[in-house]
Amino acid sequence: AELKDEQLYSQGLERPEGDFCPICTLPIPFRISDHSVFMACCMKTICHGCVIASQKRGMFDCAFCRTPMAGNDADRLAMIQTRVAKKDPTAIHCLGQKYFFGNLGLQKDVRKAVELYTEAAELGSVEALFSLGNLYFRGDGVRGDKAKAAELFEKAAMQG
């Protein structure tokens, strides 16, 4: 048990890579969703400061990849699906979230969400491991299995 704790707590960073703005590289303050924007075009979370700075310069496209902003849910979904086709684990997890909650005009489909979370986890998505762990913990769309949930949570923690 001691060796396992040492492995779990002796590696990694204080904050995950996704908590930093890819433009200014500063940590995004907590509650991240209150201080940043998630861009469906490039799957990046950009701080409000960088978004505002780019808008002051007359750029109203994505501050990171310069893609024009999606005007509606269908455009956002198309952007996500484009990234999914390229096997982007963040995009696959994001699409899983959209199916799980029934967003962007998609019918709520927990089975499809589980498939997408599993694929994203296999491609290295820590968020997908955590989402799968939550599903197994609550028994939401899968047979409840607290041991499997603990294993997934531990795997996510070990990966950062």
Residue pLDDT, tens place only, 118-155: 999 999 999 999 999 999 999 988 898 999 999 999 99
Q: How far is CA 99 from CA 56, 110, 121, in A?
A: 35, 7, 16
> H or E element: which one contains 47?
strand 44-47
Counting beta carbons within 10 angstroms of the beta carbon of residue 137, is it exposed (0 to 12), middle (13 to 18) or buried (19 or more)?
middle
DSSP strand pairing (44-47 vs 36-39) = antiparallel
Residues of the chain with pLDDT under 50: none
pTM for the model: 0.84
- pLDDT given at position 152: 94
Going by the DSSP 8-state scheme, the letter that residue 16 receives in this structure is -
Q: What single letter denotes the amino acid at residue 115?
A: E
What gap in Å lies between CA 84 and CA 77, rounded to an integer? 10
